[in-house]
Amino acid sequence: MHYHKKLFTTFTSLLALGLFQGCASTGISEAQPDHSRAWNLTHSVGMTDLEDAEVPEDQIPSGLGSATNMAIDVAYFMNSSTLAMSFGDAFGLGLLGALTTTNKSHAERSTIVAWVPEDQVNGRGVVNMWLGDIIKDATMKAMAKLEIDGEPEYHNKLTDSFMHGTYTETKISGLKADGTECGAYFKVYPEQISELQDIPEFIAPGVKGYQIYAGDEMEYPRFSAYCLSDTSLDQYVEFVSEVSRNLPETVFLYARQLELADQEIPPVVYDHGKALLFLTEAN
C-alpha cells in the first residue's frame, strides 16, 4: 500500500509540474532559406508535416513575383480569369496534393500560428486570454469592414475536461445584408503555451515571447471561419484575409486546402492581408 501511495504521489507531482511549467517549445528557431516563408512560419510552431512544392520558374504565373518568399494579394484567388482552371492545374503540377494528406496531418486542419511578445502580456498564464481577445477584436473589425452584422456568442469560455483537456474558446456569428452567414471559431489550450524564450528572428528580431505550440495531435490552437456560399469561396477568402490584416505582426492564420464547385484554394498562411503559398522555385 505504501508503495502505491508513493507512486501515485510521484505521478501527480510530475503531472502538476508539467501543467504549471507549460509545454517545451518544439519548432525551428532560425529561418531555412531554401524553404518558403509559409513553411518557416508553420514549422516555427511545430507544424512539421507541412512541406513545400517546387515550381519551375517558367511555370509561375505572371504577376506572382519570386516564389522564394511568395506573398500574393488574396484578390488573386478571387480573379475569375486565373481561376479558369484549378489552382493546381494553373501551375502545371499537383500543387493541391503536394502536402502530406494523412488524416492526422497538420495540413488537414486550420490553425493559429502565433508567438506572443512578452511585453504584450503579464506572464504566461494570461497568454491564451490575450490571444482570444486579439483574434476576437480582429474578427469584429473584419466584420465591420465587410458590413457583416455580428457579435460573439461566447468569448474566452473556459472548459476543463478530463477527456478533452483545458481550453478557452470563442465563437462569433454574423449576417450580411444579403443573408450570407459568416462567422469564426477559435480555441487555445493553455498547456500548449511555452515558457518565455526568444521569438525567431524572422518573426520578431530581438524579442522574447511565448510560442503557441501547434504540433500536438489533439491540443492545437484551432481557427475556423466561414462565409457561406453554394458556388464560390470568394467571400470566405475575403473574410479570413481581412481578419488576418487586423492581427498583431507575430500572429498568422493557416488555412487548409478548400474546394467548392470548380474553385480550389491551396493551403495558405494568411499574413496580414496577404496569402503565403507553400512554394519554392526549383533549381
For residue range 233-254, what is the model confidence (pLDDT) as tens digits?
889 989 999 999 999 999 999 9
What's the pLDDT band for 197 if we cut at 50, 70, 90?
Answer: very high
Q: What is the DSSP string of 144-207?
A: HHTTEEEEEEEEEEEEEETTTEEEEEEEEEEEETTS-EEEEEEEE-GGGBBPSEEPPTTTSTT-
d(CA 236, CA 226): 6
pLDDT at 76: 53
Spacing of C-alpha 51 from chain mean position: 15
d(CA 26, CA 37): 18
Side-chain-facing half-sphere of 64: CA atoms under 13 Å: 25
What's the pLDDT band for 81 if we cut at 50, 70, 90?
Answer: very low
pLDDT at 201 exceeding the cut of 60: yes
pLDDT at 104: 54
| 166 CB-contact burial (10 Å; exposed 0-12 / middle 13-18 / buried 19+) | middle
Alpha carbon distances (Å) from 102 to 95, 96, 97: 16, 14, 11
Question: Any idea which of 44-48, 139-143, 241-245, 259-263 has the lowest mean pLDDT?
Answer: 259-263
Q: Which residues contact 23 (CB under 8 A, 6 or more apart)?
A: 191, 192, 193, 194, 213, 216
Question: Any idea which of 11-25, 130-144, 170-184 has the lowest mean pLDDT?
Answer: 11-25
Q: How many Å is the Cα radius of gyration of the chain? A: 20
- 114 against 97, higher pLDDT: 114
What's the pLDDT band for 6 if we cut at 50, 70, 90?
Answer: very low
pLDDT at 219 exceeding the cut of 70: yes
